[in-house]
Structure 1
Amino acid sequence: MSETMNQKIQKDFDRIALLEQPMWNHNSHYHRFLLKQLTLHCDNILEIGCGTGKLSRLLAQRADRVTAIDLSPKMIEIAKQQSQDYANINFQVADILKWRFPVSQFDAIVSIATFHHLPLERLLPNLEIALKPGGKLIVLDLLENEGIQGIVNNAIAIPLNWLFQICRNRGFRPTRETVEAWREHLRTDKYLTQSQVQYIYKNLLTGANVKIHLFWRYSIVWKKL
Protein backbone atom coordinates (compact mmCIF):
# COMPACT_ATOMS: atom_id res chain seq x y z
CA MET A 1 0.00 0.00 0.00
CA SER A 2 1.48 3.37 -1.03
CA GLU A 3 2.09 6.13 1.50
CA THR A 4 -0.39 8.35 -0.35
CA MET A 5 -3.13 5.72 -0.07
CA ASN A 6 -2.23 5.18 3.57
CA GLN A 7 -2.71 8.89 4.24
CA LYS A 8 -6.05 8.92 2.43
CA ILE A 9 -7.35 5.99 4.49
CA GLN A 10 -6.27 7.70 7.70
CA LYS A 11 -7.90 10.96 6.64
CA ASP A 12 -11.12 9.16 5.63
CA PHE A 13 -11.45 7.41 8.97
CA ASP A 14 -10.50 10.47 11.00
CA ARG A 15 -13.51 12.07 9.34
CA ILE A 16 -15.80 9.06 9.74
CA ALA A 17 -14.89 8.70 13.43
CA LEU A 18 -16.63 11.99 14.23
CA LEU A 19 -19.92 11.01 12.59
CA GLU A 20 -22.90 9.35 14.22
CA GLN A 21 -22.96 5.61 13.58
CA PRO A 22 -25.97 3.25 13.45
CA MET A 23 -26.45 0.60 16.14
CA TRP A 24 -26.37 -2.19 13.54
CA ASN A 25 -24.26 -2.55 10.42
CA HIS A 26 -22.88 -5.31 8.23
CA ASN A 27 -19.81 -5.71 10.44
CA SER A 28 -21.46 -5.70 13.87
CA HIS A 29 -23.89 -8.32 12.53
CA TYR A 30 -21.01 -10.81 12.67
CA HIS A 31 -19.53 -9.91 16.07
CA ARG A 32 -21.19 -12.94 17.68
CA PHE A 33 -19.81 -15.21 14.95
CA LEU A 34 -16.28 -13.90 15.53
CA LEU A 35 -16.52 -14.31 19.30
CA LYS A 36 -17.65 -17.92 18.87
CA GLN A 37 -14.33 -18.71 17.20
CA LEU A 38 -12.39 -17.80 20.37
CA THR A 39 -11.64 -20.09 23.28
CA LEU A 40 -13.61 -19.27 26.42
CA HIS A 41 -10.69 -17.30 27.84
CA CYS A 42 -7.53 -15.86 26.27
CA ASP A 43 -4.43 -14.28 27.74
CA ASN A 44 -3.64 -11.93 24.84
CA ILE A 45 -5.66 -10.84 21.81
CA LEU A 46 -4.53 -8.50 19.03
CA GLU A 47 -7.19 -6.59 17.09
CA ILE A 48 -6.17 -4.98 13.81
CA GLY A 49 -8.30 -2.03 12.67
CA CYS A 50 -10.22 -1.54 15.91
CA GLY A 51 -12.04 1.67 14.93
CA THR A 52 -13.95 3.13 17.88
CA GLY A 53 -13.49 -0.07 19.87
CA LYS A 54 -16.91 -1.72 19.72
CA LEU A 55 -15.45 -5.16 19.06
CA SER A 56 -12.45 -4.42 21.30
CA ARG A 57 -14.75 -4.10 24.30
CA LEU A 58 -16.36 -7.46 23.53
CA LEU A 59 -12.94 -9.07 23.15
CA ALA A 60 -11.85 -7.55 26.47
CA GLN A 61 -14.57 -9.56 28.21
CA ARG A 62 -12.88 -12.74 26.97
CA ALA A 63 -9.20 -11.90 27.54
CA ASP A 64 -6.73 -10.66 30.15
CA ARG A 65 -5.24 -8.20 27.65
CA VAL A 66 -6.34 -6.78 24.31
CA THR A 67 -4.01 -4.79 22.07
CA ALA A 68 -6.19 -2.79 19.68
CA ILE A 69 -4.54 -1.00 16.76
CA ASP A 70 -5.89 1.50 14.26
CA LEU A 71 -4.35 3.86 11.71
CA SER A 72 -6.74 6.70 12.60
CA PRO A 73 -5.85 8.87 15.61
CA LYS A 74 -9.46 10.07 15.84
CA MET A 75 -10.77 6.52 15.94
CA ILE A 76 -8.36 5.68 18.77
CA GLU A 77 -9.24 8.88 20.63
CA ILE A 78 -12.93 8.00 20.58
CA ALA A 79 -12.23 4.34 21.39
CA LYS A 80 -10.36 5.40 24.54
CA GLN A 81 -13.19 7.73 25.56
CA GLN A 82 -15.77 4.97 25.15
CA SER A 83 -13.67 2.27 26.81
CA GLN A 84 -12.70 3.85 30.12
CA ASP A 85 -14.22 0.93 32.05
CA TYR A 86 -11.88 -1.50 30.27
CA ALA A 87 -8.43 -1.24 31.82
CA ASN A 88 -7.26 -4.34 29.93
CA ILE A 89 -7.41 -2.72 26.46
CA ASN A 90 -4.25 -1.10 25.12
CA PHE A 91 -5.30 1.15 22.23
CA GLN A 92 -2.52 2.17 19.84
CA VAL A 93 -2.32 4.44 16.81
CA ALA A 94 -0.15 2.49 14.38
CA ASP A 95 0.34 1.34 10.81
CA ILE A 96 0.15 -2.44 11.14
CA LEU A 97 2.57 -2.86 8.21
CA LYS A 98 5.23 -1.00 10.23
CA TRP A 99 4.33 -2.42 13.62
CA ARG A 100 6.89 -4.62 15.38
CA PHE A 101 5.20 -7.97 15.88
CA PRO A 102 6.18 -9.94 18.99
CA VAL A 103 6.96 -13.64 18.57
CA SER A 104 4.36 -16.20 19.74
CA GLN A 105 2.52 -13.60 21.82
CA PHE A 106 -1.18 -13.80 20.97
CA ASP A 107 -3.84 -16.44 21.55
CA ALA A 108 -5.89 -14.79 18.80
CA ILE A 109 -5.54 -12.09 16.18
CA VAL A 110 -8.88 -10.63 15.13
CA SER A 111 -9.74 -8.15 12.39
CA ILE A 112 -12.92 -6.85 10.86
CA ALA A 113 -13.27 -4.87 7.59
CA THR A 114 -9.58 -3.96 7.47
CA PHE A 115 -7.70 -6.56 5.43
CA HIS A 116 -8.91 -5.23 2.06
CA HIS A 117 -6.70 -2.21 2.75
CA LEU A 118 -3.60 -4.35 3.28
CA PRO A 119 -1.22 -6.45 1.15
CA LEU A 120 -1.94 -9.93 2.47
CA GLU A 121 1.29 -11.42 1.14
CA ARG A 122 3.25 -9.07 3.45
CA LEU A 123 0.89 -9.17 6.40
CA LEU A 124 -0.02 -12.83 6.90
CA PRO A 125 3.52 -14.17 7.57
CA ASN A 126 3.90 -11.61 10.38
CA LEU A 127 0.58 -12.66 11.89
CA GLU A 128 1.68 -16.29 11.85
CA ILE A 129 4.85 -15.35 13.73
CA ALA A 130 2.89 -13.35 16.32
CA LEU A 131 0.42 -16.15 17.13
CA LYS A 132 1.16 -18.70 19.82
CA PRO A 133 1.06 -22.37 18.76
CA GLY A 134 -2.64 -23.21 18.79
CA GLY A 135 -3.53 -19.52 18.37
CA LYS A 136 -6.17 -18.43 15.89
CA LEU A 137 -6.39 -15.84 13.13
CA ILE A 138 -10.02 -14.71 12.86
CA VAL A 139 -10.89 -12.30 10.05
CA LEU A 140 -14.07 -10.82 8.64
CA ASP A 141 -13.70 -8.69 5.55
CA LEU A 142 -15.56 -7.32 2.55
CA LEU A 143 -16.19 -9.37 -0.56
CA GLU A 144 -17.13 -8.69 -4.16
CA ASN A 145 -19.77 -11.24 -5.10
CA GLU A 146 -19.33 -13.08 -8.39
CA GLY A 147 -21.08 -15.74 -10.45
CA ILE A 148 -24.38 -17.45 -9.78
CA GLN A 149 -23.71 -17.76 -6.06
CA GLY A 150 -23.06 -14.03 -5.91
CA ILE A 151 -26.38 -13.30 -7.62
CA VAL A 152 -28.18 -15.54 -5.12
CA ASN A 153 -26.40 -13.91 -2.17
CA ASN A 154 -27.35 -10.44 -3.43
CA ALA A 155 -30.97 -11.48 -3.88
CA ILE A 156 -31.10 -12.60 -0.25
CA ALA A 157 -28.95 -9.86 1.29
CA ILE A 158 -30.62 -6.81 -0.23
CA PRO A 159 -34.11 -7.32 1.30
CA LEU A 160 -32.58 -8.58 4.58
CA ASN A 161 -30.42 -5.47 4.75
CA TRP A 162 -33.52 -3.30 4.38
CA LEU A 163 -35.32 -5.28 7.11
CA PHE A 164 -32.42 -5.11 9.57
CA GLN A 165 -31.96 -1.40 8.96
CA ILE A 166 -35.58 -0.80 9.96
CA CYS A 167 -35.72 -3.20 12.92
CA ARG A 168 -32.27 -2.75 14.44
CA ASN A 169 -31.55 0.89 13.68
CA ARG A 170 -34.99 2.19 14.59
CA GLY A 171 -35.35 4.61 11.75
CA PHE A 172 -31.74 5.86 11.85
CA ARG A 173 -30.97 7.92 8.75
CA PRO A 174 -27.42 8.96 7.93
CA THR A 175 -26.75 12.66 7.47
CA ARG A 176 -25.58 14.04 4.15
CA GLU A 177 -22.10 14.47 5.64
CA THR A 178 -22.05 10.78 6.63
CA VAL A 179 -23.12 9.67 3.16
CA GLU A 180 -20.51 11.90 1.53
CA ALA A 181 -17.74 10.70 3.88
CA TRP A 182 -18.43 7.04 3.12
CA ARG A 183 -18.83 7.72 -0.59
CA GLU A 184 -15.41 9.37 -0.65
CA HIS A 185 -13.84 6.47 1.19
CA LEU A 186 -15.49 3.79 -0.94
CA ARG A 187 -14.33 5.54 -4.10
CA THR A 188 -10.91 3.88 -3.76
CA ASP A 189 -11.89 0.68 -1.93
CA LYS A 190 -11.22 -2.60 -3.75
CA TYR A 191 -12.41 -6.04 -2.61
CA LEU A 192 -11.39 -9.59 -3.34
CA THR A 193 -13.78 -11.88 -5.19
CA GLN A 194 -14.75 -15.25 -3.73
CA SER A 195 -12.31 -17.09 -6.00
CA GLN A 196 -9.48 -14.69 -5.07
CA VAL A 197 -10.19 -15.15 -1.37
CA GLN A 198 -10.05 -18.92 -1.74
CA TYR A 199 -6.82 -18.81 -3.76
CA ILE A 200 -4.89 -16.33 -1.59
CA TYR A 201 -5.73 -17.69 1.84
CA LYS A 202 -5.51 -21.36 0.89
CA ASN A 203 -2.04 -20.77 -0.52
CA LEU A 204 -0.72 -18.57 2.30
CA LEU A 205 -2.37 -20.32 5.27
CA THR A 206 -2.56 -24.09 4.96
CA GLY A 207 -5.83 -25.37 6.35
CA ALA A 208 -7.56 -21.97 6.52
CA ASN A 209 -11.33 -22.24 6.85
CA VAL A 210 -12.89 -19.85 4.32
CA LYS A 211 -16.58 -19.03 4.61
CA ILE A 212 -18.74 -16.73 2.47
CA HIS A 213 -21.41 -14.76 4.33
CA LEU A 214 -24.34 -12.55 3.50
CA PHE A 215 -23.96 -8.76 3.51
CA TRP A 216 -20.92 -8.93 1.23
CA ARG A 217 -18.56 -10.45 3.76
CA TYR A 218 -16.23 -13.43 4.03
CA SER A 219 -14.51 -14.91 7.06
CA ILE A 220 -11.20 -16.69 7.59
CA VAL A 221 -10.48 -18.85 10.62
CA TRP A 222 -7.01 -20.36 10.79
CA LYS A 223 -5.31 -22.18 13.67
CA LYS A 224 -1.53 -22.17 13.99
CA LEU A 225 -0.11 -25.62 14.60
Structure 2
Amino acid sequence: MSDQLTQKIQQDFDRIALLQPVQWNHNNHYHSFLLKQLPPHCEKILDIGCGTGVFSRLLAQRADQVTAVDLSPKMIEVAQQQSQSYPNIDFQVADILQWQFPVEYFDAIASIATVHHLPLEVLLPKIQTALKPGGKFLILDLVKSEGIQDILSDAVAVPLHLTLQLLKNKRLRPTPEAIAVWQEHGSTDKYLTRSQAKQIYLKSLTGAKITKHLFWRYSVVWEKSLAAS
Protein backbone atom coordinates (compact mmCIF):
# COMPACT_ATOMS: atom_id res chain seq x y z
CA MET A 1 0.00 0.00 0.00
CA SER A 2 1.47 3.36 -1.07
CA ASP A 3 2.24 6.11 1.42
CA GLN A 4 -0.20 8.37 -0.44
CA LEU A 5 -3.05 5.88 -0.08
CA THR A 6 -2.20 5.26 3.58
CA GLN A 7 -2.34 9.01 4.21
CA LYS A 8 -5.70 9.29 2.44
CA ILE A 9 -7.19 6.45 4.49
CA GLN A 10 -5.93 8.08 7.70
CA GLN A 11 -7.45 11.42 6.72
CA ASP A 12 -10.75 9.76 5.74
CA PHE A 13 -11.07 8.08 9.11
CA ASP A 14 -10.08 11.22 10.98
CA ARG A 15 -13.19 12.75 9.39
CA ILE A 16 -15.35 9.65 9.98
CA ALA A 17 -14.40 9.68 13.68
CA LEU A 18 -16.18 13.01 14.08
CA LEU A 19 -19.48 11.81 12.61
CA GLN A 20 -22.43 11.35 14.92
CA PRO A 21 -22.42 7.68 16.07
CA VAL A 22 -25.34 5.45 15.18
CA GLN A 23 -26.82 2.67 17.28
CA TRP A 24 -26.84 0.12 14.45
CA ASN A 25 -24.72 -0.53 11.38
CA HIS A 26 -23.60 -3.43 9.22
CA ASN A 27 -20.55 -4.07 11.37
CA ASN A 28 -21.95 -3.99 14.90
CA HIS A 29 -24.80 -6.23 13.72
CA TYR A 30 -22.21 -9.05 13.84
CA HIS A 31 -20.46 -8.19 17.09
CA SER A 32 -22.28 -10.92 18.99
CA PHE A 33 -21.37 -13.46 16.31
CA LEU A 34 -17.69 -12.59 16.60
CA LEU A 35 -17.71 -12.65 20.40
CA LYS A 36 -19.11 -16.19 20.32
CA GLN A 37 -16.03 -17.30 18.34
CA LEU A 38 -13.55 -16.24 21.03
CA PRO A 39 -11.71 -18.81 23.14
CA PRO A 40 -13.36 -19.38 26.56
CA HIS A 41 -10.83 -17.24 28.40
CA CYS A 42 -8.47 -14.72 26.87
CA GLU A 43 -5.57 -13.06 28.60
CA LYS A 44 -4.61 -10.84 25.66
CA ILE A 45 -6.51 -9.78 22.53
CA LEU A 46 -5.43 -7.58 19.62
CA ASP A 47 -8.04 -5.44 17.83
CA ILE A 48 -6.78 -4.30 14.40
CA GLY A 49 -8.50 -1.18 13.07
CA CYS A 50 -10.32 -0.49 16.32
CA GLY A 51 -11.94 2.80 15.26
CA THR A 52 -13.71 4.50 18.16
CA GLY A 53 -13.31 1.37 20.28
CA VAL A 54 -16.87 0.01 20.28
CA PHE A 55 -15.78 -3.59 19.71
CA SER A 56 -12.62 -3.10 21.79
CA ARG A 57 -14.79 -2.36 24.81
CA LEU A 58 -16.75 -5.57 24.26
CA LEU A 59 -13.49 -7.49 23.97
CA ALA A 60 -12.24 -5.89 27.19
CA GLN A 61 -15.12 -7.57 29.02
CA ARG A 62 -13.76 -10.93 27.84
CA ALA A 63 -10.02 -10.46 28.31
CA ASP A 64 -7.44 -9.30 30.82
CA GLN A 65 -5.81 -6.96 28.31
CA VAL A 66 -6.84 -5.59 24.89
CA THR A 67 -4.40 -3.88 22.56
CA ALA A 68 -6.39 -1.74 20.12
CA VAL A 69 -4.59 -0.30 17.10
CA ASP A 70 -5.82 2.20 14.50
CA LEU A 71 -4.20 4.31 11.80
CA SER A 72 -6.34 7.36 12.61
CA PRO A 73 -5.22 9.61 15.50
CA LYS A 74 -8.71 11.09 15.72
CA MET A 75 -10.29 7.62 16.01
CA ILE A 76 -7.93 6.79 18.87
CA GLU A 77 -8.64 10.12 20.55
CA VAL A 78 -12.39 9.46 20.49
CA ALA A 79 -11.86 5.84 21.57
CA GLN A 80 -9.83 6.90 24.60
CA GLN A 81 -12.45 9.48 25.58
CA GLN A 82 -15.21 6.88 25.41
CA SER A 83 -13.25 4.11 27.14
CA GLN A 84 -12.13 5.75 30.37
CA SER A 85 -13.85 3.06 32.41
CA TYR A 86 -11.81 0.35 30.62
CA PRO A 87 -8.26 0.57 32.00
CA ASN A 88 -7.44 -2.80 30.40
CA ILE A 89 -7.50 -1.35 26.87
CA ASP A 90 -4.24 -0.03 25.42
CA PHE A 91 -5.11 2.20 22.46
CA GLN A 92 -2.31 2.84 19.98
CA VAL A 93 -2.02 4.97 16.83
CA ALA A 94 -0.09 2.86 14.33
CA ASP A 95 0.08 1.51 10.81
CA ILE A 96 -0.48 -2.17 11.49
CA LEU A 97 1.83 -3.12 8.61
CA GLN A 98 4.69 -1.35 10.42
CA TRP A 99 3.66 -2.48 13.91
CA GLN A 100 5.91 -4.92 15.74
CA PHE A 101 3.91 -8.11 16.31
CA PRO A 102 5.06 -10.09 19.37
CA VAL A 103 5.60 -13.84 18.98
CA GLU A 104 2.87 -16.22 20.28
CA TYR A 105 1.44 -13.51 22.50
CA PHE A 106 -2.27 -13.10 21.77
CA ASP A 107 -5.12 -15.50 22.57
CA ALA A 108 -7.21 -13.82 19.88
CA ILE A 109 -6.78 -11.26 17.11
CA ALA A 110 -9.83 -9.55 15.66
CA SER A 111 -10.38 -7.09 12.83
CA ILE A 112 -13.59 -5.47 11.61
CA ALA A 113 -13.91 -3.70 8.23
CA THR A 114 -10.16 -3.12 8.01
CA VAL A 115 -8.37 -5.87 6.09
CA HIS A 116 -9.67 -4.73 2.69
CA HIS A 117 -7.23 -1.84 3.12
CA LEU A 118 -4.28 -4.19 3.72
CA PRO A 119 -2.16 -6.62 1.67
CA LEU A 120 -3.20 -9.95 3.13
CA GLU A 121 -0.05 -11.68 1.91
CA VAL A 122 1.86 -9.39 4.29
CA LEU A 123 -0.62 -9.35 7.17
CA LEU A 124 -1.54 -13.04 7.52
CA PRO A 125 1.98 -14.36 8.30
CA LYS A 126 2.26 -11.70 11.03
CA ILE A 127 -1.07 -12.85 12.49
CA GLN A 128 0.03 -16.47 12.49
CA THR A 129 3.23 -15.59 14.32
CA ALA A 130 1.52 -13.40 16.93
CA LEU A 131 -1.18 -15.90 17.96
CA LYS A 132 -0.59 -18.42 20.70
CA PRO A 133 -1.18 -22.07 19.76
CA GLY A 134 -4.92 -22.54 20.06
CA GLY A 135 -5.48 -18.82 19.52
CA LYS A 136 -8.27 -17.53 17.27
CA PHE A 137 -8.19 -15.07 14.36
CA LEU A 138 -11.51 -13.35 13.62
CA ILE A 139 -12.27 -11.15 10.64
CA LEU A 140 -15.41 -9.33 9.56
CA ASP A 141 -15.01 -7.45 6.33
CA LEU A 142 -16.89 -6.15 3.31
CA VAL A 143 -17.54 -8.48 0.39
CA LYS A 144 -18.22 -7.89 -3.28
CA SER A 145 -21.30 -9.72 -4.58
CA GLU A 146 -20.94 -12.39 -7.26
CA GLY A 147 -23.38 -14.79 -8.88
CA ILE A 148 -27.07 -15.49 -8.42
CA GLN A 149 -26.76 -16.58 -4.79
CA ASP A 150 -25.36 -13.19 -3.77
CA ILE A 151 -27.96 -11.37 -5.86
CA LEU A 152 -30.70 -13.18 -3.97
CA SER A 153 -28.97 -12.46 -0.66
CA ASP A 154 -28.75 -8.76 -1.53
CA ALA A 155 -32.45 -8.74 -2.39
CA VAL A 156 -33.19 -9.91 1.16
CA ALA A 157 -30.64 -7.57 2.75
CA VAL A 158 -31.93 -4.30 1.28
CA PRO A 159 -35.42 -4.22 2.87
CA LEU A 160 -34.04 -5.64 6.13
CA HIS A 161 -31.37 -2.94 6.13
CA LEU A 162 -34.01 -0.23 5.73
CA THR A 163 -36.17 -1.74 8.47
CA LEU A 164 -33.31 -1.90 10.97
CA GLN A 165 -32.14 1.58 10.02
CA LEU A 166 -35.58 2.92 10.85
CA LEU A 167 -36.05 0.90 14.04
CA LYS A 168 -32.55 1.30 15.48
CA ASN A 169 -31.40 4.65 14.09
CA LYS A 170 -34.79 6.35 13.71
CA ARG A 171 -34.05 7.29 10.11
CA LEU A 172 -33.90 5.55 6.72
CA ARG A 173 -30.73 7.24 5.52
CA PRO A 174 -27.54 8.49 7.15
CA THR A 175 -27.00 12.22 7.46
CA PRO A 176 -25.89 14.06 4.29
CA GLU A 177 -22.51 14.66 5.93
CA ALA A 178 -22.05 10.95 6.64
CA ILE A 179 -23.06 10.01 3.10
CA ALA A 180 -20.52 12.46 1.64
CA VAL A 181 -17.67 11.31 3.88
CA TRP A 182 -18.30 7.61 3.29
CA GLN A 183 -18.69 8.08 -0.48
CA GLU A 184 -15.36 9.88 -0.61
CA HIS A 185 -13.71 7.14 1.42
CA GLY A 186 -15.31 4.37 -0.64
CA SER A 187 -13.93 5.77 -3.88
CA THR A 188 -10.64 3.96 -3.26
CA ASP A 189 -11.99 0.83 -1.56
CA LYS A 190 -11.70 -2.57 -3.23
CA TYR A 191 -13.40 -5.69 -1.86
CA LEU A 192 -12.94 -9.41 -2.31
CA THR A 193 -15.67 -11.68 -3.59
CA ARG A 194 -16.48 -14.74 -1.51
CA SER A 195 -14.57 -16.93 -3.97
CA GLN A 196 -11.51 -14.71 -3.82
CA ALA A 197 -11.64 -14.63 -0.02
CA LYS A 198 -11.76 -18.41 0.19
CA GLN A 199 -8.84 -18.77 -2.19
CA ILE A 200 -6.65 -16.30 -0.31
CA TYR A 201 -7.42 -17.33 3.26
CA LEU A 202 -7.39 -21.09 2.76
CA LYS A 203 -4.00 -20.83 1.07
CA SER A 204 -2.50 -19.32 4.23
CA LEU A 205 -4.82 -20.44 7.04
CA THR A 206 -5.49 -24.16 6.86
CA GLY A 207 -8.98 -25.00 8.08
CA ALA A 208 -10.21 -21.40 8.13
CA LYS A 209 -14.00 -21.03 8.01
CA ILE A 210 -15.08 -18.34 5.55
CA THR A 211 -18.76 -17.38 5.69
CA LYS A 212 -20.80 -14.94 3.60
CA HIS A 213 -23.31 -12.94 5.66
CA LEU A 214 -26.15 -10.57 4.95
CA PHE A 215 -25.38 -6.84 4.81
CA TRP A 216 -22.44 -7.30 2.43
CA ARG A 217 -20.06 -8.85 4.91
CA TYR A 218 -17.98 -12.01 5.17
CA SER A 219 -16.28 -13.50 8.20
CA VAL A 220 -13.17 -15.58 8.68
CA VAL A 221 -12.66 -17.71 11.78
CA TRP A 222 -9.34 -19.53 12.13
CA GLU A 223 -7.81 -21.37 15.06
CA LYS A 224 -4.06 -21.84 15.24
CA SER A 225 -3.06 -25.44 15.78
CA LEU A 226 -2.10 -26.42 19.30
CA ALA A 227 0.87 -28.21 17.76
CA ALA A 228 2.16 -24.96 16.27
CA SER A 229 5.37 -23.57 17.60
Question: TM (normalized to structure 1)?
Answer: 0.98
Contact 1:22 1:172 (C-alpha < 8 Å) held by counterparts: no
Question: Offset of 1:101 from its aligned partner?
Answer: 0.4
Question: Offset of 1:173 from its aligned partner?
Answer: 4.9
Question: Offset of 1:176 from its aligned partner?
Answer: 2.1
User: What is the match of residue 10 of structure 1?
Assistant: 10
For the pair 1:164 / 2:164, whether they are aligned, the reply is yes
For the pair 1:186 / 2:186, whether they are aligned, the reply is yes
Helix, strand or coil for the counterpart of 2:51?
Answer: coil
**Structure 1 residues 93 and 172 mapped into 2: Cα distance closer, same or farther (>3 Å)?**
farther
Distance 1:191 1:63 in 2: 31
Distance 2:4 2:159 in 1: 37
Distance 1:194 1:63 in 2: 31
Q: Give 1:125's aligned amino acid.
A: P
For the pair 1:76 / 2:76, whether they are aligned, the reply is yes
User: What is the match of residue 203 of structure 2?
Assistant: 203
Distance 1:75 1:15 in 2: 9
* Unpaired stretches in structure 2, ≥5 consecutive residues: none
User: What is the match of residue 114 of structure 2?
Assistant: 114
User: What is the match of residue 132 of structure 1?
Assistant: 132
Within a 5 Å distance, the mapping from 1:22-101 to structure 2 comes to 22-101=22-101
* Unpaired stretches in structure 1, ≥5 consecutive residues: none
RMSD over aligned CA atoms reads 0.9
Q: Give 1:43's aligned amino acid.
A: E
Distance 1:31 1:20 in 2: 20
Distance 1:99 1:181 in 2: 27
Contact 1:107 1:134 (C-alpha < 8 Å) held by counterparts: yes
Question: TM (normalized to structure 2)?
Answer: 0.97
Question: Offset of 1:41 from its aligned partner?
Answer: 2.1
Deviations 1:79-138 (A, max 9, x none): 000000000000000000000000000000000000000000000000000000000000
Q: Give 1:192's aligned amino acid.
A: L
Q: Give 1:164's aligned amino acid.
A: L
